[in-house]
Amino acid sequence: MYAQVMEGLRILEDGIYLDGTFGRGGHARGVLQRLGTGGRLLLMDKDPEAIAVAEHEFGADPRVAIHRGSFTDLAHWSTAQHGLDGVLLDLGVSSPQLDVAGRGFSFGKDGPLDMRMDPDSGESAAQWLARAGEAEIADVLWNYGEERMSRRIARTIVARRAEQPITRTAQLAELVASVMPRGKPGQKEIHPATRSFQAIRIHVNRELSDLEAGLDAAHAALRPGGRLAVISFHSLEDRIVKRFIARHAKAPAGNRRLPAAEDFVPTLRAIGDARKADSTELAGNPRARSAVLRVAEKLGENPAACAGGTR
Ligand SMILES: C[S@@+](CC[C@H](N)C(=O)[O-])C[C@H]1O[C@@H](n2cnc3c(N)ncnc32)[C@H](O)[C@@H]1O
């Protein structure tokens, strides 16, 4: 997927790029290797630990600008106001966020039930679970985790928190596991709390609304010919990216209440189809198994001039 991202972004030596999800800089390093001295790279992440790594590794590079915050705010930064030749959004959580128990993302490691990518913003998972109503919890588990036991889990959370606050990841993982039906013997199963943890994390970090706002902000900031590359990790995100690209690339199907198709001016074109990690990458990084990459190119004033083919 790394090579596919670099190819998709089609990096120009003197171009201006945004990595909106720096993480630990795997993709940023690749972009910098391809940029000349006149190129610029804006690095963003919500996570202060990611930003500390960016400062340490790239803070002295005159081509790099670093900002802590959500990629939804990319238009605030002067580097982005010059127009961008490429935007990369590699969504979801980073390996260090999952692996460090103290961040509270993992059902496999006991830690404080936090799950915030930016620990200085919004409610932690524990704070939200302490105050949310039963129906709200069930909706989050169902909408963001497709958890079939959402109502039963929500009911148990509300009953359990009346006895004792739910503040640890192990407490929540055990509570969810206790209400799930037992799997059939020999059946290979994911951890029973996987879907609930995913759902609560998406909710606490406002991941889907950030994605929608981030796509709009990237679209507005890209120059004609600029490339947008988005890696998503579950179908909810991929659906948003796919529909976003289609909405800007294709005239809507005939409908009396929508503007006529001939008035539609495409502002993006999809570059190839959705791509997945190949077997070599999966062998080295099993977490990439659900990753999907989509790439699109911003069109200019005269879309016909640059809309030849899909590559
Ligand atoms: C999958 S990791 C990125 C890995 C990175 N591409 C690399 O090569 O190391 C996702 C990162 O995006 C950050 N993130 C997620 N949503 C964000 C948002 N709305 N704005 C800024 N950063 C975000 C997370 O904090 C995390 O560090």
The half-sphere exposure of 124 on its side-chain side, counting CA atoms within 13 A, is 17
pTM of the model: 0.93
pLDDT tens per residue, range 98-154: 999 999 999 989 999 999 999 999 999 999 999 999 999 999 999 999 999 999 999
278 vs 242, higher pLDDT: 242
Three-point CA angle 130, 234, 285, nearest 5°? 105
Residue nearest (by alpha carbon) to ligand 1 atom 4: 23
Rg from Cα positions in the chain: 21
What pLDDT is stored for residue 189 in this prediction?
75
Which helix (H) or strand (E) segment holds residue 285: the answer is none
Contact 63, 79 (CB under 8 A): no
Residue 122 pLDDT:
95
The CATH class of 2-95+207-306 is alpha beta
Q: Which CATH number fits domain 119-204: 3.40.50.150, 1.10.150.170, 3.20.20.80, 3.30.460.90?
A: 1.10.150.170
**Confidence at residue 256, expressed as pLDDT on a 0 to 100 scale:** 63
pLDDT for the residue numbered 287: 76
- Say whether pLDDT at 276 is over 60: yes
- Please choose from 9, 57, 94, 210 the residue to mutate so as to test ligand 1's pocket, defined by most ligand atoms within 8 A of CB: 94
Higher pLDDT, 85 or 303: 85
Residue 305, pLDDT above cutoff 70? no
Residue 38 has pLDDT above 60, yes or no: yes
Tokens of residue 182, six digits: 């037992």
* Residues 206-215: tens digit of each pLDDT: 999 999 999 9
Q: At residue 286, what is the residue type?
A: P
Best probe residue, ligand 1, of 9, 18, 21, 57 (max atoms within 8 Å of C-beta): 21
Ligand 1 contact, 45 CB (< 6 A): yes
Q: Does the C-beta of 105 come closer than 6 Å to ligand 1?
A: no
Where exactly are the structural domains of the chain?
2-95+207-306, 119-204
